[in-house]
Structure formats: C-alpha cells, structure tokens
Amino acid sequence: MFARLSMFVAACILQASPAYADQFRVTSQGEYFTAAKAVRAGDTIILANGTWRDFEIILTGKGTKDRPIVLKAEDSGKVAITGQSNLRIGGEHIEVSGLVFRDGYSPSGEVISFRRSKADQARNSRITEIVIDGFSKPGRFDDDYWVSLYGKNNRFDHNYLAGKTNKGVTMAVRLDSNESRDNGHRIDHNYFGPRQNLGSNGGETLRIGTSTYSMYNSGTIVEDNFFENCDGEVEIISIKSGGNIVRRNVFVASRGALTLRHGNNNVIERNIFFGQNKDHTGGIRIINENQTVTGNYMEGLRGTGFAGALTVMNGVPNSPVNRYVQVSNARIEHNSILDSARITFGAGSDAERSAAPISSVFADNLMSSSDEGRFLEADDDTSGISFSNNLVISGNISSQISAIPVQKLALARAQNGLLYPVGEAFSNRGAPRDLVVLPRNQAGPVWYLKPAANSGFDTGNVVTVAPGEDTLGAALASAKAGDRLQLAAGEYTVNKTMLIDRTISISGPVDSTGSLNVAGAIIRFSRPALFEIAEGGNLRLTAVGIDGAEAPDNVGNSVIRTSAMPMQNNFALELDQVSVSNLTVNKFFDVIAIGKSTMADRIIIRRSTFSNITGMVLNAAAETDNYGQYNAEYVTIEDSSFNGVQNGIANIYRGGTDESTFGPHFKLTNSRATQVGNNKNSAFGTGLLLHGVQDTTISGNSFRDSAPIKIVQTVGVPITVLAGNSFGAGAQPVIEEMFYKGPSRVEIRGTKLTAAGAK
C-alpha cells in the first residue's frame, strides 16, 4: 500500500473551514493508478525515486488555482521514465514536475499530451521541469510529437527537450478543436537543445497551429526560451495561426528560421539570434498579414534563401490556405541584423508566387553584411514596402530597393553583449539598448546538465596495433569513443566485419619525414564488408591502404556500409590519404554504401586514391520514396584520384518536391578521374550522378575516358557551379531540370573539352 499521509496545508488557514491535502507516495504503477483515482484538489502524488519502465501516466481531475492536483518526482531528476512510456493530463489545475523521460520512446503519437482524450483537454495546468532526452522512436520516419499542447491557459516552462531524431515536430500547439483556440498558453524558460538535421520536412522544433486551422487565433505566448543547435529543417519555429507573441527568446547556432508560415497578427519582438557563422543559420521569415517584427537582434547568420536573416516572401494571389498569403501591412522596425549574409524582399517570386508585399513598413533597422555578396536582395517589386531611417553599415544592395544609405559606422559591445553604434549619431537605429540575452542557465531545469560540445575524433587515447590476423578487430573491441587505433607498418587481416558504434579513428604510420605513409599499413578483409557503421558510430580513416582482393565472391560487397537497421543518429565518415584498390571479386563492390533510413552529417574524402573497383566510391541513393529524404548532408571530395571505378564516383539521390531541407551539399574539387562510370552493365552509365542536390561545386577536376557526369535539378533554388574542369571524350556534363523552366541556372565556366568530347 502507498503511504497516505494527511497534512495540514498552511495556506488553508485563511479559508473558512480547514482543508486537508493528501500526499500519496507511490512505488509502483498499481499504487500510482489507485492514487490517481483518489486525488482531489490540493493532493499531491509523489513518484518514488528510481526507474519507472513502460509507464503510460494519466492524470486528470479538478484542482483549483490555490489547490492544484500535483504529480511530482520524489526528488527532481531522480525519477526516470523509460521504455514505452508517455504522459497525458486532462482536467484543470494539474501540475506535473521533476520527471526525466529517457531510454525509450512513446508507444503513441505523443510523449506528453495536454489532453487525456478528445473530450478531456487540460485547462489552467502546468508542466514544469520535465526532461525529454533522446526519447525518440527508433525509425527515423516513424513520426510523433514530443509535446502537444491542447486546451486553454496551460503553461509549459523550465523543461528540457533535446535529441529528437525521428520525424515530427518537437513541440506542437494544437488548434484542432474550439476548446484549443484563443488558448492563452504560455511556453517559457524552456531549453530546446540539439535537434540534428532530419533530412526531410517534419523537423520543426516548435509549431503553433496547422494550415487547416490557421485562420484561427492561437494567442500563445512563447517567451524567454533558449534554442540551441535546433537544426531539424528550414523552420525552427513554424507559426501557423494568428495572434501569437514570440519574444525574448535566444536562438544559438540553429539552422533555419522562425517562420510566420500561416495566420495573421503575430508579434515577433526582442528575440536574439546568434548564428555563430554556421551554415544556414537564419532569422525571421514573414508571410501573411499584419505581422509585427520589431526590436530583434541578429548576428553572425549565414543563411540565404528561405533561411536568410530576414526574408519577406512573395504570396500567391487568392492563395489557398496551404500556400502563401501575400504579405500585407507588415511592420519591420528597429531590428539589428549584423554580420549576416542575406535579407530578401519578395522571396520565392515565381509564376505562382507572384504577389509582392504591400502596405508594409521597413524602418529604423541597422544592418551589416558578412561578405561581399548580395546582402539586401529583391526578388520582386519592393514598391509596396516603405523604407525609412534604415542604415546599412556594409553590404551590397539590390538596385530594386529604394535608397538605403550605406555608411561606415563603428560598433561596440555593450554590457548586454550586443553590438550598438558608437556615439550619438545613429543611436536610435537598430535594436533597443535594453535587450537582455537570456542566460543559458535560466532555461530548462537547473538540475539537468545541458549538452557539452561533441567529443569528436581523436579526443581519447592512442592505442597502438601490431600487424597480423585479427589484431585490428581485437583492438577495436576494447577501444573507447574518441580513441585512435594507431597501426604500425605491415599487413592486417580482418575476418569479422568491424562494427563502428562509437567514434573511432584508425590511422596508419607516420614516416621519418613526419608525413603519413599510405603504403605503410594495408588492410585486407574476408567478409562482405570491412566496416559497418551502427547507431552512435563515427569513423575516420587516415593513411591506410585497403585491398579488397580477399573479400568473398558476392555481389554487392562494400568496404564501409551502414547498419541494415534504421539509424537514429546522424554519423560522420572521413577518409584522408586512404588508398582503396582491387574491389573486383564480383559486381557492384562499393567503397561506401549508405543504407535506407540512415543519414551522414558529413562524408569527407581527401587526398585519397581509388582504383579497380566494380561498384562506386559513394552510393548514397537509398531514399527512393521521393519524400524529400536523402542519405548525406555534406559530401566533400578533394585532391583525390579515381581510376577504373566502373559505376562512377558517387550516386546521391534526393527525390520529391518538398522544400524543407538545405541539403544535400556536394563538392568535388582538384581530383582526377580516369575510366570512371564505364560499366556496360551499370544502370546509370555516368561518372557521377547527382539528383536533387541543393548545393553543388565541381571545380578543378579532370575526367578522362569516362562516362558523363549527370546532374538532375529538382525543386528549390539549387546552387550549381562547375568551374575549371576538363572533360575528355564523351564525359562532358549532362544537366537536366525536372520542373524549372527558364534560363540555365547552372554556372559553368572555365571548362575544357577535348576535341572528341565537344558536341
């Protein structure tokens, strides 16, 4: 039995009749549900410290403002909810605190729901100091929401949410029913921690409403939250409803933008964005009517396109609810946008999105660019925007934008850590002086540690390995994350596929001159794969030779493959001064083969050589469903050579028409390809096949006696540059556009074609 302790509640002395509150300390699920049935206003249920596995918590009832019904941990942070678990609350004046959801995932569509059922939505309730840490469904595209806010006047504060790896927004405010609109919810002082790139739509950190209900007011306040490395997709926050206030939040190194996607009359003020020079970090994107964007501060943002520091979109005339309502009556005033890459007016202008912004004001803003490229861009007519009292300190401005003065101006950091003009001359431009940057330690529960920087490669011990049979496998078995296996010169035979489920670096010997000696350490293997990257794994290979001659006579071997199971965490793979040869025992022997539902944050190949290979060097084309998913965010190949690689250098595929991702990115520079892609049996007949890649640079390469490289451009605004390459007979690039019609948007320059290759 649980302990039923009656205690006198001091606060009740003031009431006419003395009231008692019960406190139930429970140690099992059975005790919990008995207590949950018995609770009345003022009662508290205490979950005993420890681990509660497979626990679907439900709590409802009628508390009052002064006498809420409370569910809390015996000690905050010492109650772990694991396995297949979730929490639903209904009723009113319910408060839940102190629980840690980890080591598991919700068996339903939500981890925390502010409704017990459609008929029982929470009101005047609060969830505070809860942790949801990596509580993701195993399948990347098996979707759920971690938190769904329903009902009215609920508060979600001082919580920690980080490490969501599966599809579905981290937190959603739902407006599906009348009871959930004009809701007066408050979302404050939460820590929204790292959310890795999903590689698909559905990776938003916070969404308020949906297109279907976007004509309704939500009336939600989002304030004093800290967003860090929220990299899920192009929208960090997606507002899809009206009448919300988003203020005083801090966004650090987060890819994407706060997007006013649907709904009118939202206020975005006094938010701080620090891009820290990270790719695709953006600020605010404006769509719809009567949006106010004032007093925001942005610094070091590197995003362009839909993730610029400030993006004012073009609309669709008489737009359907799920497309783009024309910007009208936007007020964009007193913002500082400093050391940032792009501000765009009329963004997304095309045949469908043809309605430029109208009746809008852009005033008293202070701006400076991060580089020499276009800083203030106009993709359409800007005459519907009134520009006044703005100042650009540095940056290239489109001639379509009515005059904004450019004037050098010294900035200095004030006490609050933000940059402001020195002197009085322009002191009234830009963001207010009294902005406060919310300290990181004021977001989330104080008792839960926030993530440190990744440990990364070569941060652990150096473990020396002697040549021989299975010595490498034995060394790997006892290596810890961050360790480097340092190989001596000689031959290594591996008879078991090496499972990489930690961050591991393997390096060959350094010769007497101090440079790495590729010929020094040779690895041979007798299984269909040498390495398999599994959940949690990252692999760096440096200065080793890999010879496939001893591999079994199978179709489809590979040197490095990913787990056959879906992987939750993105991985990194780096090859430097690696020599791979003799992958010829059977057909389709690849160097790197990425499987479905696995995603590389980066694959970097430098100073490496690949010769006599029946497959391809990088096979990253497993996401064939055309949902806008793909297998690798950044692929970088530099200073490498390819000789006799029958199926080509790489096949990277991102299908579909969704515009919610930044990648894939592909770079091939200063490399040489000879007899690449010439396999008569290859389905592709290409030396390199890129489909739906968003950002491509191919420069300073030579292709000889090779099949053509083929680039298929799909949706979005792909950036494709081919510069300073020479293409031999038959190898010149083939460029295809699937949807876009218009002048070529591929930049080709400095290309040499041999006589036979020119057509």
Binding footprint of Ca ion on the chain (CB under 5 A): 201, 235, 660
**Distance in Å, CB of 349 to Ca ion, minimum:** 20
**Residue nearer to Ca ion on the CB measure, 207 or 334:** 207
Cβ closer to Ca ion: 166 or 660? 660
Smallest separation (angstroms) from Ca ion to the CB of 654: 16
Report how far residue 563's alpha carbon sits from residue 558's, in angstroms, rounded to the nearest whole number.
Answer: 12
CB 303 to Ca ion: min, Å = 15
CB of 623 to Ca ion, least distance (A): 17
CB of 442 to Ca ion, least distance (A): 29
CB of 605 to Ca ion, least distance (A): 31
Minimum Å gap between C-beta 232 and Ca ion is 9
- Rounded to a whole number of angstroms, the minimum distance from the CB of residue 660 to Ca ion is 5
For residue 591, give both structure tokens: 């160097």
As a whole number of Å, the end-to-end CA separation of the chain is 86
Minimum CB separation of residue 319 from Ca ion in Å reads: 17
CA distance to 544, 584, 594, per residue, from 581 (Å): 11, 9, 19
Q: Cβ closer to Ca ion: 235 or 333?
A: 235
Cβ–Cβ < 8 Å for 539, 533 = yes
Paired sense of beta strands 86-89 and 343-347, if any = unpaired
206 or 253: CB nearest Ca ion: 206
What is the nearest approach in angstroms of Ca ion to the Cβ of residue 207? 8
What is the spatial distance between Cα 458 and Cα 311, in angstroms, rounded to a whole number?
40
The one-letter code for the residue type at 308 is G
Strands, E assignment, 508-557 = 521-525, 529-533, 538-542, 545-547
Closest CA to 145 of 163, 122, 168: 168
Q: Which amino acid is at 503?
A: T
Minimal distance in Å, beta carbon 149 to Ca ion?
18
Nearest-approach distance from CB 318 to Ca ion, in angstroms: 23
Q: 55 or 306: whose CB is closer to Ca ion?
A: 306
Minimal distance, residue 533 CB to Ca ion, in Å: 28
Q: Nearest distance from residue 658's CB to Ca ion, in Å?
A: 8
CA–CA dist 720, 735 (Å, integer) = 10
Instruction: Please identify, using beta-carbon distances, which residue of 127 and 206 lies nearer to Ca ion.
Output: 206
Specify the DSSP element, H or E, that contains 675: strand 672-676
In one-letter notation, the amino acid at residue 421 is: P
| Distance in Å, CB of 325 to Ca ion, minimum | 17
Closer residue to Ca ion, CB minimum distance, 102 or 323? 323
Cα gap 181→195, rounded to integer Å: 28
- Helix, coil or strand: residue 35: helix
Whichever of 187 and 237 has its CB closer to Ca ion, that residue is 237
C-alpha distances (whole Å) from 25 to each of 43, 57, 253 are 11, 15, 42
> Cβ contacts of residue 171 below 8 Å, gap of 6+?
145, 146, 147, 148, 149, 156, 161, 187, 192, 205, 206, 207
> What residue type is assigned to position 597 of the chain?
S
Token output for 449: 């540690």
Please choose, from the candidates 207, 141, 109, the residue with its C-alpha nearest in 3D space to the C-alpha of residue 628: 141
| For Ca ion, the closer CB: 198 or 419 | 198
Which C-beta is closer to Ca ion: that of 294 or that of 660? Answer: 660
Is 235 or 574 the residue whose CB approaches Ca ion more closely? 235
Element at 38 (helix H, strand E): helix 29-38
Rounded CA-CA distance 267/288 in Å is 12
Alpha-carbon torsion angle 453, 458, 459, 465, nearest 10: 150
Of the pair 236, 529, the CB lying nearest Ca ion is at 236
CB 235 within 8 A of CB 259: yes
Residue whose CB is less far from Ca ion, 155 or 167: 167
Q: Which is nearer to Ca ion, 268 or 367 (CB)?
A: 268
On whether the CB atoms of residues 678 and 706 are closer than 8 A, the answer is yes
Cα–Cα distance for residue pair 715/106, rounded to 1 Å: 34
* Separation CA 720–CA 736 (nearest Å): 12
**Which residue, chain included where needed, has tokens 């009208």?**
328
Q: What 3-state DSSP class applies to 352?
A: coil
Phi-psi region of 238 (alpha: psi -120 to 50; beta: other; left: phi over 0): beta
> By C-beta, is 128 or 660 nearer to Ca ion?
660
